[in-house]
Amino acid sequence: MFLVAGLGNPGGEYAHTPHNLGFMVVDSLAEQAGIRVKTRDSSALIGKGLLEGKPVMLAKPQTFMNLSGAALKPLMEKHEIGIEELILVFDELDLAWPKLQIKPKGSGGTHNGVKSVVASLGSREFCRVRLGIHPGHPLRDAAEYVLAPFQRSQKKELDELVGIGADAVRSIVADGVEKSMTKFNRRA
């Protein structure tokens, strides 16, 4: 079973912020596949179903972003999900808005949520779908930027980025990371 984990922060005040792009992609996948992501399990909201004919668990950790690994590790242990079946979806300040990049593995970089997952799992060997949020100009306060609501002018690109993010996840599940990188990373 694949575990598609979208990173974000719980609570309505964060719902439409760049830091919650991972949650938005999981919600989009859930809607498309008819999966209800409502069950509480290991500090996450989860839902199980099929994506591209394969069993998946969609998850939204309910710890705050910087503690995402504390929710994912027990979830993966409980359901016997291996590191190779994890697809982590998150916002990426080191990537320009609205770009997408699939990576088969790597460090946590500057993203505290990903650093938490790497530290908790003791591995960097999991697939990532990185959703670019950098505005293209210097930022005074990165934390303030990622937690501020999206601007109305970003709505169309936001919807497209979430859609492409969901497409990328479905491609990884159906065709694997390498083929999906060839297909999606060229756009970046």
- Hey, which residues are catalytic here? 19
Do you know the residue count of the chain? 188
Report the alpha-carbon angle 87-180-184, nearest 5.
Answer: 105
Distance CA(74)–CA(61), nearest Å, equals: 11
The SS3 call for residue 162 is helix
Distance CA 50, CA 48 (A): 7
The candidate with the shortest Cα–Cα distance to 126, out of 78, 165, 69, is 69
Instruction: Name the residue among 123, 119, 100, 99 with its Cα closest to residue 111.
Output: 119
Question: Cα-atom radius of gyration of the chain, to the nearest Å?
Answer: 15
